[in-house]
Chain A
Amino acid sequence: MEAKKLFQSEKFPLIELREVDKTYSLGEELSVPVLKKISMTVEKGEYVALMGASGSGKSTLMNILGCLDRPTAGEYFLDGEEVGSISGDRRAQIRNKKIGFVFQSFNLLPRTSALENVIMPLYYTAGGLSNSEVIKRGKEMLEKMGLSDRMDHAPSQLSGGQQQRVAIARALVNRPPVLFADEPTGNLDSKTSVDVMNLFEELNKEGITIILVTHSTEVAACARRTIHIHDGSIVSGAFSPAGAISGCAGLDGYLRKGEQK
């Protein structure tokens, strides 16, 4: 009913969680609630940071938002579609089409060229593109990341920043509306971290919704909005304020810090 209403209004948030619970049951009696009645929204084109201490449930929330995991209770609307209760195969398709992942440890396939790494998600796209189209898209993506001269390099031949850019190219190759980044600068030195953050900034300006999970307040400061999560509940920033898209307040400070090192 409500989903219908959302479609009718034609102005629905890209991501909407409604009273989402996640409980891990460790045996018959013992169950550990990780997320408690989480409700939140992310509008299209937003740049959101997800912050919280270890064990606060931010990774679990990230997994649910990324369609890797299912909520125990509650509803999750992604792009107007209820995805909290659909089958694993369907979720795989959603991940393929609508979500890009960037990981802390890059997760590139070893001994595989940058181009091959970037076009890997396209193999799993239903319907499929022609081989030349796939290659074309991969090259475009790498060029956009400034890696046109590194296409045939294996991950071991690339620097950390370059590897992360390959990973971002891979995340965006299928043109998803939303990009999830889990500690994207965690394995990078501050100089390259700044590069990556600048890249995110540019992508966000192009209209890609970015949700990043981080420990670092500097990184979080780059985002327009920060969602603080503590002990399975959102403490602040759950809903987007009226004028969500504004300048990056923290970026200048972050840049200065990077230059000092």
Chain B
Amino acid sequence: MTLWKTLGVAVKALRRNPTRALLTALGIVIGIAAVIAMMEIGNGSASAIKSSIEGMGANSILVMSGAPRHPGGVRQSAGSAISLTADDCTAIMLECASAAAVAPIVRSSGSQAVAGNLNWVPNLIIGTSPSYLLIRNWKVAEGRCFTEREVDARARVCLVGQKVVQELFGGNSPVDSEIRIKNVTFRIIGTLQVKGANMMGMDEDDVIVMPWSTAQLRITGFKSGSASNTSSTPSSSPSDLYPATGVAFYPEQASNLEKDTLLTPKFERIDQIQLMAASPEKVGSLVREVTSVLRERHRLKEGQEDDFRIMNSAAFMQTLSGTSKLMTNLLLVVALISLAVGGVGIMNIMLVSVTERTREIGLRMAVGARSRDILKQFLVESILLCLVGGLFGILLGRGAAVMVNLQLGWPIEPSPGGMLTAVAVSACVGILFGFYPAWKASKLDPIEALRYE
């Protein structure tokens, strides 16, 4: 008996009692529908969680200068020795395959910003490159971000956080206004979107962001030692106030002009490098690549301690993977339970059906069906029920997910893999739970079966 014939016989047998077939398949329909809906909603929320955690910087890492060790054994805080340079940054960008974006960071705090008759000391002045906003997933609310060109030109432009807008401009649009920091005029070219407090509770909107070269030159100063010099040295000479203009007020300015050029190694020094890995999974390899690039560039010998520190968002990563793992496991358990229930339902009805159709089985045997034909027929019936149930379940599950999306606004994400698995699983359930009734049917004695009342 070929498979096609068996299929035909099974279809006819099922069509003879459509209500029973429907009720039998209902368990599988609901089981698969639940699994598909859960998968779609689960996937949707998992990727929503993932993207929001990524927005918080899950795949970004921060390279800081290490704590210097003096021969005397005095140890200073991290970042107090400046070992990172803008060239390190370029090298990382060129050599690390896992890096999606790199931004040098020059930080300064405590400088007073003045606009009109108002003044305000922002929490932080950040000198960086345009990719910083990309890494931090920070959008420009109004205006534009500065360009690489403006970084190269050390243009006196800046973006301000919403807190600064509030304090210095009373909420009015500050774009194209000017503010003064350390007596240097900066043009505001844009405002940043509200970010809120960071993990440490610091207001992230209380910032001014500008090109790192500008920050280095105009804000942190170019004193040797620490780039993050926060003390504002009173500037008195015009050349100190306008060092980049290149206007020689006095012939003696030659030494200052020399400091203006970026060739000066001290100028190259930056506080931190912020990096973004191509994906959260690549954070580990990015850390390894950055370590090897920096060790090479800093000429550190084997066994010598790193003169920099790499911080990644391990906590975020743990939350991310923990959450999605928990979700996946939960879904798996729900899927298994509902499918097991559906399968037991199929087995139940198939057993009842075998008893009910004892005479039919006897008759089929009497007219020439071998026991394996009977086994095949019942097995194919239950697999068919499960498959058709599975397909309807997929449709129902998709429908439910779309309904949830439309009505409740939960994010959903269709999973073709999940659908394939559902079909495979329902076929397996059909075989697994259909086998016993089919085997029982095939073992009937035709004489007994024909006499069965």
Contacts and interface: CB of A to CB of B under 8 A. Distances in A.
Interface of A: 63, 66, 68-69, 88-89, 92-93, 95-97, 101, 103, 107, 109-112, 116, 120-121, 123-125, 128, 170-171, 174
Interface in B357-404: 359-360, 362-373
Contacts of A112: 12, 16
A110 B368 contact: no
Given A89-B372, A96-B368, A107-B363, A123 B447 contact: no
Q: Choose among A101, A124, A125 the residue with the greatest number of B CB atoms under 10 Å from its CB.
A: A124
A171 B365 CA distance: 13
B5 interface: yes
Q: Which are the 6 A-B pairs with shortest beta-carbon distances?
A: A96-B368, A121-B367, A124-B368, A111-B16, A92-B370, A89-B370
A78 to B, nearest CB: 14
B447 A68 contact: yes
B5 A123 contact: yes
A109 to B, nearest CB: 6
Contact of A110 (B8, B16, B371): B16
B1 interface: yes
Interface in B143-183: none
Interface range on chain B: under 10, 10 to 19, 20 to 34, or 35 or more?
A: 20 to 34
A128 B446 contact: no
A109 B12 CA distance: 11
Contacts of B447: 63, 68-69
B366 A111 contact: no
Contacts of B16: 109-112
B12 A116 contact: yes
A95 B366 contact: yes
Given A88-B370, A107-B359, A107-B450, 19 more contacts: A68-B447, A92-B368, A93-B368, A95-B367, A103-B450, A109-B16, A110-B16, A112-B12, A112-B16, A120-B367, A121-B367, A121-B368, A123-B1, A123-B5, A123-B369, A128-B1, A128-B5, A170-B367, A174-B368
A124 B370 CA distance: 8
A97 B366 contact: no
A125 B446 contact: no
B370, B371, B372 pick with most chain A CB within 10 angstroms: B370
Contacts of A121: 367-368
A96 B450 contact: no
A124 B450 contact: no
Contacts of B341: none
A11 B238 CA distance: 135
A92 B444 CA distance: 13
A93 B363 CA distance: 14
B12 to A, nearest CB: 7
B368 A101 contact: no
Contacts of B367: 95-96, 101, 120-121, 124, 170-171
A69 B451 CA distance: 14
